[in-house]
Amino acid sequence: MKLGIYVHIPFCKSKCHYCDFLSYSKMDLAKEYVDALIKEIKMYSKSFKNTNIQSVFFGGGTPTVLPSYLIEKLYSCIENNFTLSEDCEWTIEANPDTLTSEQVQLFKKYSITRVSLGLQAVQDYHLKNIGRIHSFSQWENAIWLLKSNGITNINTDLMFGLPNQTLNEWEESLNKVIKYDIPHISAYSLTLEGNTRFVNLYEKGELKLIDEILDRQMYTMAKDILGSYNHYEISNWAKQGQECKHNLLYWEQEQYIGAGLGASGYLNSFRYTNTRNLKDYIKNMDRQIALIQEEKEHITLRMQQEEFIFLGLRMLSGIDINKFKKIFNIEIYDIFGNQIDRWIKQGGIRNNNNKLVLTYLEFVCVFFV
């Protein structure tokens, strides 16, 4: 059994204009939140203490906005209450303006193996326009800080389709980042979601997005410039052997604990999501896990089979026909044969050594759906 742990830290210095993730800029309840989070983590450890943990992922928000002593409490809690596999991937998200030398020393102390460093663009005016509060030079300094301390397994997030962004600017972002020998790059198209500043501006007619054709050209450009990387998932490129283990757990339908405010988990065929109310989370965590879980859904066998299809199509390796039979004890064609035959005839997918793989054109279309 593979098992991962996701830990949500819902605090940021400020909210980016496009960000719909659950986060708060006020830190007054940070200590109380971490105390409640530790209680939740310990509750899960009672059921999974002897299960080898394949990955731990601290996301947010911005985890590195926490004071170092609170980060250390969380590290120590997980290390002391779970069995981490020898090759456990331990990731923490960081922003260039919040990463400190003291935190990097903590990473080394607790064997944090991977840092995901937000960037989005290399042009400072684009960073300012999307609400980022750091410069490209601060990102460069953060990369130097990590590498000089022996932390080389780094992901950087980039974003295309920004307001007024040109194809040349996107090319510049890609080329500058790869010069730093970054082993993992995530590239996402700007999407307007939730109650964000960009959504509000767009609804008022005060924000103009680039057209879809240019957006697709940018995606194609990423594929070309990052050609030496393994393009293993729609939005993710990695050097060989440095694919994100934690995200692969999601895409391969493995189980994971979701701990913290608004976190989602998938355990024993149930998917759950915690409350998004910070004060409720802190208050109810003193009582029992059931009180902080806002949603809980049983993922039926049919739903699992359908998700196997959809998630498989996100991966460049495609849908593994033999693996489907091994997991579900039935041939994939016995359930989805008509749909698969239709997709093949339409040229959307092809059978490549018993793996159903999207054609490139269809892959680009899926990215923009």
Q: Do the two domains 3-251 and 305-367 of this chain adopt the same fold?
A: no
What's the pLDDT band for 1 if we cut at 50, 70, 90? confident
Give residue 193's pLDDT. Answer: 85
Q: Which class is domain 3-251?
A: alpha beta
Give residue 16's pLDDT. Answer: 87
Q: What is the mean pLDDT of residues 34-61?
A: 95
**Higher-pLDDT residue of 316, 321:** 321
What's the pLDDT band for 347 if we cut at 50, 70, 90? confident
- pLDDT tens digits, one per residue of 63-81: 999 999 999 999 999 999 9
What's the pLDDT band for 361 if we cut at 50, 70, 90? low
Give residue 149's pLDDT. Answer: 96
> Which residue in this structure is represented by tokens 């170092």?
68
Please tell me the CATH code under which domain 305-367 is placed.
1.10.10
Cβ atoms of residues 51 and 136 within 8 Å: no
**CB-side neighbour CA atoms (13 Å) of 129:** 18
**Higher-pLDDT residue of 116, 367:** 116
* Contacts of the segment 294-299: beta carbons below 8 A, 24+ positions apart: 296/270, 296/271, 296/272, 297/270, 297/271, 297/272, 298/269, 298/270, 299/266, 299/269, 299/270, 299/271
Highest mean pLDDT among 122-136, 196-210, 273-287, 354-368: 122-136
The bridge status of strand 52-60 relative to strand 83-94 is parallel
Give residue 170's pLDDT. Answer: 98
Closest CA to 240 of 250, 231, 249: 231
Cα–Cα distances (Å) from 253 to 231, 266, 268, 308, 323, in that order, read 20, 9, 11, 7, 12
What pTM value is reported for the model? 0.94
Q: What is the mean pLDDT of residues 222-229?
A: 96
What is the rounded (10 degree) CA torsion for 114, 120, 124, 125?
-160
Q: What is the mean pLDDT of residues 286-304?
A: 87
Residue 365 has pLDDT above 60, yes or no: no
Cβ atoms of residues 161 and 218 within 8 Å: yes
Token readout for 40 is 């939740």
Give residue 366's pLDDT. Answer: 56
- pLDDT tens digits, one per residue of 230-287: 999 999 999 999 999 999 999 999 999 999 999 999 999 999 999 999 999 999 987 7
Say which range, 95-99, 150-154, 291-295, 322-326, has the weakest mean pLDDT.
291-295
DSSP E strand stretches across the chain: 3-9, 52-60, 83-94, 114-120, 154-160, 184-189, 230-233, 236-238, 255-259, 264-267, 270-274, 293-298, 319-320, 349-351, 355-358
Beta bridge partners of 52: 83
- pLDDT tens digits, one per residue of 177-187: 999 999 999 99
Is the bond preceding 4 in cis, omega lying within 30 degrees of 0? Answer: no
Cβ atoms of residues 230 and 238 within 8 Å: yes
Residue 346 has pLDDT above 90, yes or no: no
What's the pLDDT band for 368 if we cut at 50, 70, 90? very low
Q: Cα angle at 229 between 152 and 368, to 5 degrees? A: 115
Q: pLDDT over 90 for what percent of the chain?
A: 79
Domain positions in the chain are: 3-251, 305-367
- pLDDT tens digits, one per residue of 159-172: 999 999 999 999 99
Give residue 321's pLDDT. Answer: 97
- pLDDT tens digits, one per residue of 8-24: 999 998 888 888 887 87
- Percentages (nearest 5) of helix, strand, coil residues in the chain: 45, 25, 35
Q: pLDDT over 70 for what percent of the chain?
A: 96
